């Protein structure tokens, strides 16, 4: 939930940094608020929106693992924490590698999505 609000702040910042001339032109030719949002704002924000999703996804994984360590009885974080308590270093390292691989795969999928959606960049 914490990353959701961070993402909202990043998106709001992207909205403020967008070219206001585009909105003015859209309003001049008769676009309503929904059309300005979908046809103007989301198009200029698209590339940075995907990048912001990549960043917050990393934060999500961090928060998830911490939550599992603190208050869960299953999950990768719980397994790592339990293995650490019993000095099972190979299991700890395996858990860290699994987290890293999951993060790498999800990041690469978002990069692929970015390349497919925004070929012009």
pLDDT tens digits for 40-57?
998 889 999 999 999 999
CA distances for 119 relative to 18, 113, 116, angstroms: 20, 10, 6
- Domains along the sequence of the chain with CATH: 2-117 (1.10.3720.10)
Element of type H or E holding 100:
helix 89-117
pTM over 0.85: no
pLDDT tens digits for 62-75?
888 888 888 888 88
pLDDT tens digits for 69-119?
888 888 888 999 999 999 999 999 999 999 999 989 999 999 999 999 998
């Amino acid at each position: 939930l914490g990353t959701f609000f961070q993402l909202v702040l990043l998106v709001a910042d992207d909205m403020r940094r967008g070219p206001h001339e585009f909105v003015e032109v859209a309003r001049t030719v008769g676009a309503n608020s929904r059309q300005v949002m979908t046809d103007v704002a989301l198009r200029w924000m698209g590339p940075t929106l995907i990048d912001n999703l990549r960043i917050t996804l990393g934060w999500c994984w961090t928060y998830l693992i911490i939550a599992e360590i603190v208050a869960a009885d299953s999950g990768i974080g719980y397994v790592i924490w339990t293995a650490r308590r019993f000095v099972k270093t190979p299991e700890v390292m395996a858990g860290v590698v699994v987290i890293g691989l999951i993060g790498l795969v999800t990041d690469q999928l978002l990069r692929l999505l970015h390349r497919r959606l925004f070929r012009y960049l």
